Amino acid sequence: MSLERILVPVNIRKWAVEVFSVANTFAKHPNAAVTLLHVVTLNIAAPEKGVYEQLGRDAQWHLERLARGCLRPGITTVNRVRFGKPAEEILAEAADGNTDLIVLASKPPSFWNRIVAPFLPRVVERIVREASCGVFLTTAKKWFNCENIWGRPGDELGSAPNPLDGAVESEPSPMPLAEAAFATAHEQHHAAA
């Protein structure tokens, strides 16, 4: 089975570093394309159109930085932003893009939760159950918040060099991104604060 179209849903406020190592591993086919998807969810009554447009532009900016810093060179990347409920929009993007594989991350349950209630988060569970393509679930151990580290487009922090540039290793390893990249990003964030 050839995996040519890989969907990686990313919440720019809290994404699992491990998903990019998995995406890089599966995107070995010469025609492979990785779609990075961020779903904007607003829990407020119909804001003005400008709010959606600004949130979409900000998310697109973060996805572009993630693609440059986390995916191997040569992988075709498509960055998409959708608005709505995460599970519905991820499933819709997978169907619209004729996706072969969705790469998801889930926080490992605590010892107590594994004994009492071994279940996945609702969004992940729904995607695993309803997806018309394969779903690869990886355990999230390290989280990254784009807005906290990079700021927003146009911010002083946002114009800083990308701490993830060149951080992707050519061959996947247990640690998907160089520790130094995250240490640098963390230091820049605290220095700016």
Q: What is the pLDDT along the chain (193 residues), one digit of tens a residue?
A: 578 899 999 988 888 888 888 899 888 888 889 999 999 887 776 667 778 888 889 999 999 998 988 888 888 999 999 998 999 999 999 999 999 999 988 776 666 555 555 556 788 888 989 999 999 988 878 877 777 777 777 655 444 455 454 444 333 333 333 333 333 344 444 444 4
Supply the pTM of this predicted model: 0.72
Helix, strand, coil shares, percent, the chain, to 5: 40, 20, 40
Helices marked H in the chain: 18-26, 49-70, 86-96, 111-116, 122-130, 146-150, 179-192
Domain count within the chain: 1
- Buried/exposed 26-62: b ≥16 CB within 10 Å, e otherwise: bbeeeebbbbbbbbbeeeeeeeeeeeeeebeebbbbb
Torsion 109-113-119-124 (CA) sign: negative
Q: In angstroms, rounded to a whole number, what is the distance separating the alpha carbons of residues 63 and 40?
A: 13
Give the residue numbers spanning the domain of 144. 5-192
| Residue of 78, 79, 186 whose CA lies nearest to 142 | 186
CB count in 10 Å sphere of residue 185: 23
CATH assignment at residue 73: 3.40.50.620
